[in-house]
């Protein structure tokens, strides 16, 4: 009888010990991650502040750019269906090359249907969609799409780099980026006055190095920094880049508050990580972290 009781008690202790060890066993380290941005799902790109190291105009005049980011696991090895462990591919789609491809940099007034002219009622004419310049007599430049004949689908506008599976001391370092180069062909546009405007062939290239992503409890893949070498034709400029997500537009610090304040008319907060302690950078109208990289690390 006693031996049975001891056996039952021993089994119960073993089960309890197993349960406790399972609850308090060390957990695997979190993988390297980034916020997946997608315009189609309303997820803003990373806002990237640029600090110029060197470079002249026009390529050295950038203050900030937008960068779309996605992460994908490496594909299975040839002849297998098992995903490769040990790392990811980091995809980035940065402006201004993407904007140039969409025709937002090069433009000409080759369509007068959207213009305001002196013969119209300038008090009601809306030309640009920009509230700062609407209702004025003006012509509106029209976008000119740029095409790389060797990359008509713009696949090389997206960069791909190697991302480790796990962070080291809270940092994931992306390396070996490829892509992000376009050799735009010459474009000749017929203007409304019967003339033409020629946009010469130009090479646009972005080279990213020292790409570090914070992967900590305070900042799980929502902030990164890097160095950018930007080439536009014969112009070359180098920048320090500091990126954060989400990109939230603002006029005052209250617009950046992560917390809602119904009494102040803010039913929702900004959606920004409270650890960023965001404030409004009124020069660009974007909510910006007020804490440093090391403080988030």
pLDDT of residue 5: 46
How far apart, in whole angstroms, are the C-alpha atoms of residue 181 and residue 288?
A: 29
Whole-angstrom distance, CA of residue 273 vs CA of residue 217:
11
190 and 178 in contact (C-beta within 8 Å)? no
φ and ψ of 182, to 5 deg: -135, 135
Mean pLDDT in consecutive groups of 10 residues from the start of the chain, 297 residues = 46 49 61 85 87 95 94 71 72 89 70 61 55 57 85 92 94 96 92 83 96 93 97 96 94 92 82 94 94 91
Phi, psi of 33 (to 5 degrees): -145, 160
CB 64 within 8 A of CB 49: yes
- For 77, 89, 164, 185, the CA distances from 85, given in Å and listed in that order, are 10, 12, 10, 41
Measured CA to CA, the distance from residue 30 to residue 297 in angstroms comes to: 15
Q: Is 232 exposed, middle or buried (0-12, 13-18, 19+ CB in 10 A)?
A: buried
Closest to 229 (Cα-Cα) out of 106, 29, 94, 101: 94
pLDDT of residue 6: 43
Q: Is 113 exposed, middle or buried, given 0-12, 13-18 or 19+ CB atoms closer than 10 A?
A: exposed
pLDDT value of position 105: 62
- pLDDT, residue 18, reads 46
d(CA 6, CA 14): 12
pLDDT at 265: 77
> What CA–CA distance (Å, rounded) separates 263 from 266?
7
Query: What is the structure's pLDDT at 290?
Result: 95
Query: In what helix (H) or strand (E) does residue 295 lie, and over which residues does it extend?
Result: helix 293-296
Residue 30: its pLDDT value, please? 82
pLDDT recorded at residue 194: 79
Residue 79 has what pLDDT? 65
- How many residues does the structure list for the chain? 297
């Amino acid at each position: 009888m006693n031996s049975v009781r001891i056996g039952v008690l021993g089994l119960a202790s073993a089960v309890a010990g197993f349960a406790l060890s399972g609850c308090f066993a060390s957990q695997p380290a979190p993988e390297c991650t980034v916020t997946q941005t997608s315009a189609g799902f309303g997820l803003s790109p990373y806002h990237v502040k640029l600090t110029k190291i060197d470079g002249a105009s026009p390529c050295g005049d950038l203050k900030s750019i937008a960068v779309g980011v996605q992460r994908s696991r490496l594909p299975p090895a040839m002849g297998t269906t098992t995903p490769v462990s040990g790392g990811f591919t980091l995809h980035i789609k940065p402006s201004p090359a993407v904007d140039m491809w969409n025709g937002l940099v090069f433009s000409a007034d080759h369509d007068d249907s959207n213009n305001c002219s002196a013969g119209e009622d300038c008090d009601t004419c809306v030309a640009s969609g920009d509230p700062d310049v609407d209702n004025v007599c003006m012509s509106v430049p029209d976008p000119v799409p740029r095409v790389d004949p060797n990359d008509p689908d713009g696949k090389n506008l997206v960069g791909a780099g190697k991302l480790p599976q796990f962070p080291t001391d809270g940092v994931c370092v992306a390396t070996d980026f490829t892509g992000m180069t376009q050799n735009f062909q010459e474009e000749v546009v017929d203007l409304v006055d019967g003339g033409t405007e020629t946009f010469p062939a130009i090479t646009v290239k972005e080279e990213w190095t020292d790409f570090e992503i914070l992967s900590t409890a305070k900042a799980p893949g929502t902030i990164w920094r890097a160095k950018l070498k930007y080439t536009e034709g014969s112009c070359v400029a180098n920048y320090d880049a500091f990126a954060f997500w989400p990109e939230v537009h603002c006029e005052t610090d209250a617009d950046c508050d992560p917390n809602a304040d119904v009494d102040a008319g803010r039913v929702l907060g900004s959606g920004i990580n409270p650890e960023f302690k965001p404030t409004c950078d009124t020069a660009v109208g974007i909510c910006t972290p007020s804490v440093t990289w090391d403080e988030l690390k």
